[in-house]
Chain A
């Protein structure tokens, strides 16, 4: 009786442990596959030289530069916009049908599939505003995609600032805007930054929204111009692994690209993690 009880409880516990291990196993497989095969091609030359001979030779400098510029542009657009909107909702808006509607649309926007943002960017920026397929159009599209996340995380950060801080500033004669600028924002900065960095790491890895808004298959020079097409790491990986005419030949470069992409994303996540950790330490 006792033995049977023990056996069943081990089995029960084992099932849960097994599912958890499987999930961890997935991550390990992904990391192992990419790291083991990607590290073989990674070298300083790989990340610092231009793609050559139809991408069968050379490095991935162009897509690296493209992704960095794209992410910067996304940040430049989405951070001020998103933070201002969060400030409006958290600091100014009264609870009315309008605010409820705005909040509902933000929740809704965060669930819209990224490919639809791609279509929207194509219709609005590429065709409507005549930016053409360009870094600018793609950056703005990714900015729109990032907006709901930045708003939500900023709102959470603002919410954590107790009202007594706002009252303190008002009581010494600050205007509402001064209260927000001098007291509320500095205190919530780490929370906002964490959210921003996580959102940008997500944007850096997105492919679908840039498919039709400006990502290019192959450019053998780097350009800093915002109204030209660009190469980006995720799009480069997609192209190398599905669209290239000699797929097997470029496979090592694809692994290298995947590794660099993962390193970039993890680096951003780690940054967010450190900011959050420091913030919590500071709180105590």
Chain B
């Protein structure tokens, strides 16, 4: 190949690479545009206040109601429930792996966590139907176990790998000198963990939790399969709930295109996008703060 054609190829690929970079930007732009466009179409039909504060979600009734509140509360309830389970378990496991487990145990535990992370959400949802649901129904003496508690337990399992991995990284990154100083003044392992390692790793641990929250809010299949999907204001963990993601998943298959109901689902997606974005950005903020502290 002569020198001139080599130069042309070099230049050509320079542009190809650059264009792919710009296309990624375009992708996010297009997703945003889709959400905004369809949400605006929705708000031409329904007042934003009715959407945000409405207590009823019943888009197919004779007097359609588009209140998102029951859905947001369902998502919040299930996510909070999941975090109540996953945070202590996740931090405990992370601390065990980072501080107590020997090299060999670590080599077993880490792939175990990776395996848990690899299980498709639909399989976890299936387990919710065949194992967790009947279990809850039996213990709480209910007709069925498809409710917020079931969803929360499954989401906890789905969020755990994220929380454990990020929190373990944070604890691992705490400089050894901090811990040695603590042992030096006579503290034992547990005291060092509580008073030194966890506070020093706190931003990283908060980041882990926020990323777990982001994952839980956006998760579709498990909650769709395990929570019963009744679009009512939830009154307890044993209530059947319909999260934002599940609402989109169920109703998008049934609505005619370009109707108010269709646009309403995009409005829900916009709210969902904002919520996950907030959780992920908070997570990222704390990760950066942690990195700054322990850059050396």
B92: contacting residue among A15, A93, A266, CB under 8 A: A15
Is A171 part of the contact surface with B, judged by Cβ < 8 Å? no
- Asked if A109 and B217 sit within 8 Å, CB to CB, the answer is no
Docked CA distance A123–B16 (Å) = 26
Q: Which residues of A contact B277 (CB under 8 A)?
A: 108, 111
Which residues of chain B (239-281) have a CB below 8 Å from chain A?
245, 248-249, 252-253, 257, 265-266, 269, 272-273, 276-277, 279-280
Shortest distance between the CB of A18 and any CB in chain B (Å) = 7
- Asked if A12 and B190 sit within 8 Å, CB to CB, the answer is yes
Q: Which residues of B contact A108 (CB under 8 A)?
A: 28, 277, 280
* The stretch of A42-50, A53-61, A80-88, A221-229 that contacts the partner chain: A80-88
Q: Please indicate which of the listed interface residues B22, B118, B214 has the most CB atoms of chain A within 10 Å of its own CB.
A: B118
Q: Which residues of A contact B23 (CB under 8 A)?
A: 81, 85
Is A245 part of the contact surface with B, judged by Cβ < 8 Å? no
Q: Which residues of B contact A20 (CB under 8 A)?
A: 92-93, 96-97, 101, 109
Q: Which residues of A contact B276 (CB under 8 A)?
A: 111-113
Shortest distance between the CB of A26 and any CB in chain B (Å) = 5
Is B64 part of the contact surface with A, judged by Cβ < 8 Å? no
Is B25 part of the contact surface with A, judged by Cβ < 8 Å? yes
Shortest distance between the CB of B249 and any CB in chain A (Å) = 6
Q: Which residues of A contact B115 (CB under 8 A)?
A: 27, 266, 269
Is A72 part of the contact surface with B, judged by Cβ < 8 Å? no
Q: With A242-B225, A269-B115 as known contacts, state yes or no: A84 contacts B16, CB within 8 Å.
A: yes
- Asked if B6 and A30 sit within 8 Å, CB to CB, the answer is no
- Asked if A113 and B217 sit within 8 Å, CB to CB, the answer is yes
Chain B: interface secondary structure?
helix
Shortest distance between the CB of A132 and any CB in chain B (Å) = 13
**Nearest A-chain residue to B273, judged by Cβ:** A116
Chain B interface category by residue count: 35 or more
Is A40 part of the contact surface with B, judged by Cβ < 8 Å? no
Residue-wise interface mask of B (20-34) relative to A, using a CB-CB cutoff of 8 A (1 in contact, 0 not): 111111011011001
**Nearest A-chain residue to B123, judged by Cβ:** A258
Docked CA distance A93–B22 (Å) = 11
Q: Which residues of B contact A123 (CB under 8 A)?
A: 34, 38
Q: Which residues of B contact A175 (CB under 8 A)?
A: 6-7, 9-10
- Asked if A120 and B30 sit within 8 Å, CB to CB, the answer is yes
* The stretch of B46-54, B127-135, B179-187 that contacts the partner chain: B127-135
Docked CA distance A254–B225 (Å) = 14
- Asked if A27 and B21 sit within 8 Å, CB to CB, the answer is no
- Asked if B221 and A207 sit within 8 Å, CB to CB, the answer is yes
- Asked if A107 and B284 sit within 8 Å, CB to CB, the answer is yes
Interface of A toward B, CB cutoff 8 Å: 8-9, 12-13, 15-20, 22-24, 26-27, 29-30, 33-34, 81, 84-85, 87-89, 91-93, 99, 101-102, 105-109, 111-116, 118-120, 122-124, 127, 144, 147, 151, 175-178, 180, 201-202, 204-208, 211-212, 234-235, 237-238, 241-242, 251, 254, 258, 261-262, 265-266, 269, 273
Given contacts A19-B96, A24-B109, A113-B245, 13 further A-B contacts (CB under 8 A): A20-B96, A27-B115, A27-B116, A92-B18, A111-B214, A111-B277, A112-B218, A113-B219, A116-B273, A124-B30, A205-B123, A234-B122, A273-B111
19 pairs from A and B in contact (CB 8 Å cutoff): A12-B190, A16-B96, A23-B89, A26-B157, A29-B131, A30-B127, A88-B18, A105-B25, A106-B24, A107-B280, A115-B220, A119-B269, A120-B34, A176-B14, A211-B249, A211-B252, A211-B253, A238-B221, A254-B126
Top-3 shortest CB links A-B: A205-B120, A113-B218, A19-B92
